[in-house]
């Protein structure tokens, strides 16, 4: 009965880590697309400023706008390099894979029968070790 409880707990953790991994991958894609679009817009503004031959306020406005957009893209890249959402998504995929391996070990133990109290303790220790290595984030 304890193995079924552990199996249920592991299955829940697999689902949670899988969902978090997908969520983090989506955030990573969203941030990268935003940075690329900001950079493209800033480059377009720079090209328009160079090609228009404008003088005075319109040229200054284009230059300031492109500078601000390039600065925003650079700031976002610096933040992304610090947070590394792609690495966070990879950690969630790794946690999902390890919990799936643990689930298959538990299912095999249940199928073979003859579980001892030591087997149950070992599996609980493995679950706790994986929980400690790959904690679920609060945010």
Looking at residue 56, what DSSP letter applies? S
Nearest to 65 by CA among 88, 44, 36, 92: 44
Would 58 be classed as within a structural domain? Answer: yes
8 Å CB contact between 128 and 98 = no
Q: What is the pLDDT of residue 94?
A: 95
- The structural domain count of the chain equals 1
Would 139 be classed as within a structural domain? Answer: no
Residue 55: in which H helix or E strand, if any?
none
Reading the block at residue 41, the tokens are 């817009």
Q: What is the pLDDT of residue 139?
A: 56
Question: Per-residue pLDDT for the chain (139 aa), expressed as one digit of tens each?
Answer: 888 999 999 999 999 999 999 999 999 999 999 999 999 999 999 898 888 876 788 888 888 999 999 999 999 999 998 888 888 889 999 999 999 999 999 999 888 888 888 989 999 999 999 999 998 876 5
- What does pTM read for this prediction? 0.77
Domain region containing 68? 1-133
CA angle 52, 56, 58 (to 5 degrees): 55
Q: b/e for 80-115, b at 16 or more Cβ within 10 A?
A: beeeebbebbebbbebbebbbebbebbeebeeeeee
């Amino acid at each position: 009965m304890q193995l079924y409880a552990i199996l249920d707990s592991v299955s829940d953790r697999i689902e949670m880590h899988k969902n978090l991994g997908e969520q983090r991958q989506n955030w990573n894609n969203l941030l990268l697309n935003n940075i690329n679009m900001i950079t493209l817009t800033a480059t377009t503004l720079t090209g328009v400023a160079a090609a228009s031959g404008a003088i005075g306020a319109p040229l200054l406005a284009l230059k300031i706008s492109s500078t601000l957009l390039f600065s925003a893209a650079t700031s976002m890249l610096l933040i992304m390099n610090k947070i590394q959402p792609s690495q966070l998504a990879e950690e969630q995929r790794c946690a999902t894979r390890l919990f799936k391996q643990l689930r298959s070990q538990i299912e095999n133990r249940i199928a073979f029968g003859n579980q001892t109290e030591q087997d149950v303790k070992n599996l609980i220790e493995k679950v706790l070790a994986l929980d400690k290595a790959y904690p679920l984030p609060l945010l």
